[in-house]
Amino acid sequence: MTDTALPPKFDAESIMTEPDLTGRFGEFGGRFVPETLIPACQELDAGFRDAWTDPSFREEFATILRDYAGRPSLLTECFRLGEHLGLRVLMKREDLNHTGSHKINNVLGQAMLAKRMGKTRLVAETGAGQHGVASATAAALMGLECKVYMGEVDVERQALNVFRMRLLGAEVEAVQSGSRTLKDAVNEAMRDWVATVGNTHYCLGSVMGPHPYPWMVRQFHRVIGDEAREQCRALTGDDPDVVVACVGGGSNAIGIFSGFVDTRARLVGVEPAGGAAVARGVPGVVHGMRSYLMQDEYGQVEEAKSISAGLDYPGVGPEHSYLSSIGRAEYPNVTDDEVIEAFKLLSRIEGIIPALEPAHAIAWLVREAHTMRGQTVVLNLSGRGDKDVSQMMDVLTARGELA
């Protein structure tokens, strides 16, 4: 291959531009996968570039996001929460998308791309089940086969989503290796892909994995930030002071950050205390990427532990590591107890039951609101809480807080 004339970089003028030719954001990212998968990653990179520069693909993607996923999602001003906290809160309502979370943006993009590349089957990993449900949905819509890997622990705590996936025609396999949560589901999905790479696309659910995934998944999710910026300007006449989102792998946060990274807004990604890769991790290599990673003194990957299956991940997407390393975004963490309080608060004060994942962002806002009096905050409400109500019923009953 001769590449004398490189194509112009996407978003060259933005802090969140395209990664370099090795798939790096600064010193993070890359493509650390078994040799078997290298040609597939290269093919995907070329396929995505080709699609993303093709106006007909972009138009079809925009149409499907509008007519099937229900975009644009609303930006709701939360007056009572704002009054309670002493600031102005605007919630980006990704919970109102079809399938109940932001995950649908990425899977529709990847499923369209998989079809365009002649693949007939999707494999996906899932933690809370939102990405699995979204993948199964996109596969059903586009007539693709779908297999979802889910840690056995998560299969138990997210039984409803398992049923949804099966109803949608996907095969769900409970992963019994390792910690039996999200990281092991990723391992198993990669093992499947190594064996089936000819007809199968790995529909990775976050801004992680080998290049081009972190970049590609960000591009599919940047609609969140692009919409929110315009909506915020229309509503307030200005950009917000703060943009906050929860971070496991970090796809919803990357999506909303991409719309504000070049404004003056402070960017905050909230991790669970039990899975705080940026705060407690050091650079490491797993799942195809170099990024902050929670590991022991020898480099064995540690298990994440949080109330939210969707954030139970010991690593983080490489672009988050980069944004942290250059000081453009900050990554605090919150405890399970703070999350439970936030989950209850938003339900009672706004009539919105959030998923446990974005409840992390709300928990941070509640804790830090006193430092931001009078400011405007855009919070990405990445998913709805229906999937979590039975788990929370048990938690609150055990605490004696539920009649």
Partner 1 sequence: MTGRLEAHLREIRSAGRKALVPYITGGYPGWEDAIRAAAANGADAIEIGIPFSDPVMDGPVIQQASQAALESGTTPQSVLEAVPGLDVEIPLVVMTYYNLVHHDGHRRFAHRMVEAGISGCILPDLPLEESEPWTRAADHEGIETVMLAAPTAPDERLPRIAARARGFLYSVGLLGVTGERDSLAASATALAARLKAITDVPVLVGVGVSNAQQAYEVSRVADGVIQGASVVRRLVESGPDAVGDYVAEVRRAIDS
Binding track over 241-280 against partner 1, x by CB under 8 A? ----------------------------------------
Map residues 146-185 to x or -, x wherever contact with partner 1 holds by CB under 8 A: -------------------------------xx----xx-
> In the structure encoding, which two tokens stand for residue 367, read together?
């804790």
Q: How far is it, in rounded angstroms, from Cα 176 to Cα 236?
A: 49
Site string for partner 1, 70-109 (x = CB under 8 A): ----------------------------------------
Cα–Cα distance between 378 and 343 in angstroms, integer? 17
Instruction: Using CB under 8 A, pick the residue from 167, 299, 337, 397 that binds partner 1.
Output: 299
Q: Is 13 in the site for partner 1 (CB under 8 A)?
A: no
Q: Does 298 bind partner 1 (CB under 8 A)?
A: yes
Active-site residue (options: 41, 102, 201, 203):
102
- Whether omega for the bond prior to residue 72 falls within 30 degrees of 0, making it cis, is yes
φ/ψ (deg, to 5) at 154? -75, -35
Residues that bind partner 1 (rule: CB under 8 A) add up to a total of 38
Q: Does 15 bind partner 1 (CB under 8 A)?
A: no
Do the beta carbons of residue 360 and residue 253 sit within 8 Å?
no
Question: CA distances (Å), 185 to each of 32, 76, 124, 180, 297, in order?
Answer: 18, 34, 8, 7, 24
DSSP structural state of residue 92: E
- Terminus-to-terminus CA distance in the chain, angstroms? 68
Among 15, 117, 159, 285, binds partner 1 (CB under 8 A): 285
* Residue from the set 17, 196, 325, 347 that interacts with partner 1 by CB under 8 A: 196
> Considering only CA atoms, which of 329, 259, 327, 250 is closest in space to residue 90?
259
Minimum distance of partner 1 from residue 287's CB (angstroms): 8
Tokens of 71: 């975009």
8-state DSSP, 168:
T
Q: Which is nearer to partner 1, 282 or 326 (CB)?
A: 282
Binding site for partner 1 (CB under 8 A): 22, 30-40, 177-178, 183-184, 187, 190-191, 194-198, 282-288, 290, 293, 295, 298-301
Show which residues are catalytic.
Answer: 78, 102
